[in-house]
Chains A and B, each alone.
Chain A
Amino acid sequence: MYKFINAREKVMKGVFLFSAIFSILALVVITVFLFASGVPFIAKTGVFKFLFGTTWAPTIDNPLYGILPMIVATLYVTAFSVVLGVGIGLFTAIALYKFCPKKFVAPVRQMINLLAGIPSVIFGLFGMTIIVPFVGNYLSPTGVGYGIFSASLVLAVMILPTIVSVSLDALNAVPNSYYEGALALGATKEQATFKIMLPAAKSGIFAGVVLAIGRTIGETMAVIMVIGGSPEMPNGLFKSVRTLTSNIAMGALELKGDALSALIATGVVLFVFTLILNVSFALLKKEKKEKTKRSAKNEKS
């Protein structure tokens, strides 16, 4: 009996261990498959020509695979939508934190959490049928609604719920005694919130921003429906362009052979982008942790 139990313990531990290693395995397989198919193509085209080539024309006789227009468009869209989304979202979180009737907070918070679950394709549909025509008719000097401007608006709204709830969590994690202390020193409620609580919640809010950047870089469906899709160098906010993700999605159903490898190579670039983002964030977090550890030690001694 004892032997049987012992064997069962070992088998189950093995099963658990294998499952835990599955994540590592999956990551390795994904990386290997992507790089094995993408990197040779990049090498064949030339790293510089691929990353900094300004013409994407996979279907002509002498095909050209330059993804600089897509990289630039991705950076533009990400920057604009994150600035806009974080700007509005952070202030919304602050309003929910201190400046609105207590009764409102819980229901509003619940609603925002609910809205965080809206599928991106629905934001895309909204953008395509409302924002793009509106921008085209009233805001765009060229009359074109598609482009970086519309995409940034749609993405900014899409990342709002995430930013609001992460920032609010960060603010709530700051001990209330900070706030009370500031009030006791004669600060107004507003001063206490903006000068004491906000800086104290900085790292949590920053984590939310990184999350939002990751989501906007990787978002496909909402972007593809409002960005237009011409693989041209962006030289204006109201012109049809293409991001890295939309390049992959738009070409995937049509292209074959070398052109398809070019899409996979685009995926590799996107993958590396997000890896750099995640790793630098993890390093930053680690450094901060060590810093606080060190300062805690200093205080003790």
Chain B
Amino acid sequence: MKNLNSAGNGNRKLFFALRIFCTVALGVSLLCLLAVVAYVLINGVTKISGDLLFGDYSVSPSILPAIIGTLQLVGISILIAVPIGVASAIFLVEYTNNKGRLMRVIQVATETLAGIPSIVYGLFGYLIFVVAFGWGYSMLGGGITLAIMILPTIVRSTQESLVAVQGGLREGAYALGASKVRTIFKIVLPSAAGGIVTAIILAIGRVVSESAVLILTIGMVVKDIPASLMSPGTSLALDIYYFASHGYPDEAAATAVVLLVFVICLNLLAGALGKIIKKSTGETK
């Protein structure tokens, strides 16, 4: 701070140069990121074909098994992670007062879970589902592993939307004679529903994007549509890796377009929903 007073002209020039550097950095960042998106789209769009999307793999490479596999994984992981995650957030927000030791331990555990690399989740899924349970590579094992992986995200964002619910609403419900559980289900959860749904959409995005976990848990079997949840399979992200590393560059490019469009749509949906919620809650205030 003492430099401010003694700031000479040279000093000012230095800071102006820094400002120019900032603008350059902004340009570089945008250019890099847009280059990735543009490359994937331009390179891949022309290579999408009906055969690739819905064809029979025994005839030509197809991503139909991957599409079905991805949907199964999303279904399994969301069905498991959302109830546990939301209930866990309810306990943390509604039943504890931020200071308890249990609360702290749970918070630390959630943060640690969030920091574990996905390949380590993959190893864990492999050890427990493939080896210890003897399921072999299975969609169910992969889905459960993914559920544990997205749990911290869901807990954290649900917690935020629950905290954002005004205290007055809860007190009003109690004053009318509602019990705690009834207040939670009839008042608090509906008010926080928008935020929770946004969190779920973002979690779906993570499940769809994930691939390292799945190599170790569902086995990257690209040819067959999984017969049941206990069969091995593949996902869109895994297919990109498979195609790219096994000499099918065109198929990899086309699959990348499908995945990218899907993920971007999910994110836009979450963003739009967030805006609608902000508006509607803004009006009630």
Contacts and interface: CB of A to CB of B under 8 A. Distances in A.
Interface of A: 5, 8-9, 12-13, 15-24, 26-27, 29-30, 33-34, 37, 87-92, 94-96, 99-100, 108, 110-115, 117-126, 128-130, 157, 160-161, 164, 182, 185-188, 190-191, 193-196, 214, 217-221, 224-225, 245, 248-249, 252-253, 263-264, 267, 270-271, 274-275, 277-278, 282
B276 interface: no
Contacts of A99: 19, 22-23
B248 to A, nearest CB: 12
Interface residues on B, range: 35 or more
Contact of B88 (A16, A112, A129): A16
13 contacts: A5-B179, A13-B91, A22-B84, A23-B152, A24-B109, A34-B127, A90-B25, A122-B256, A157-B33, A160-B29, A190-B15, A270-B120, A274-B117
Given A123-B36, A271-B120, A16 B111 contact: no
B25 A252 contact: no
A272 to B, nearest CB: 10
B259 A112 contact: no
Given A115-B33, A187-B4, A275-B112, A100 B215 contact: no
A225 B179 contact: no
Contact of B119 (A161, A164, A245): A245
B268 interface: yes
B227 interface: no
A202 to B, nearest CB: 15
Given A114-B268, A118-B209, A126-B39, 17 more contacts: A9-B179, A23-B151, A23-B155, A24-B109, A27-B109, A91-B21, A120-B209, A121-B241, A122-B256, A129-B249, A157-B33, A186-B5, A218-B119, A248-B119, A271-B117, A277-B115, A278-B115
B23 A190 contact: no
A185 to B, nearest CB: 6
B40 interface: yes
B48 to A, nearest CB: 15
Interface majority SS (helix, strand, loop, mixed), chain B? helix
Contacts of A90: 25
B113 A95 contact: no
B110 interface: yes
Nearest to B123: A267
A122 B267 CA distance: 16
B12 interface: yes
Find the residue from B33, B112, B119, B268 having the highest chain A CB count within 10 A.
Answer: B119
Contacts of B113: 23, 26-27, 30
A188 B85 CA distance: 48
A126 B109 contact: no
Contacts, number: 275
B40 A125 contact: yes
Interface string B96-140: 000000100110111111011111111110111000100000000
Contacts of B264: 114, 117
4 smallest CB-CB distances across A and B, nearest first, come from: A218-B117, A119-B209, A91-B25, A19-B87
Contacts of A164: 29
B110 to A, nearest CB: 5
Contact of A282 (B4, B108, B253): B108
A118 B260 contact: yes
B244 interface: yes
Given A24-B109, A277-B115, A16 B23 contact: no
Contacts of A188: 7, 12, 15-16
B270 to A, nearest CB: 9
Contact of A112 (B33, B205, B220, B241): B33
A259 to B, nearest CB: 14
Given A249-B215, A278-B115, A108 B30 contact: yes
B263 interface: yes
A122 B260 contact: yes
A105 to B, nearest CB: 11
Contacts of B219: 253
B148 interface: yes
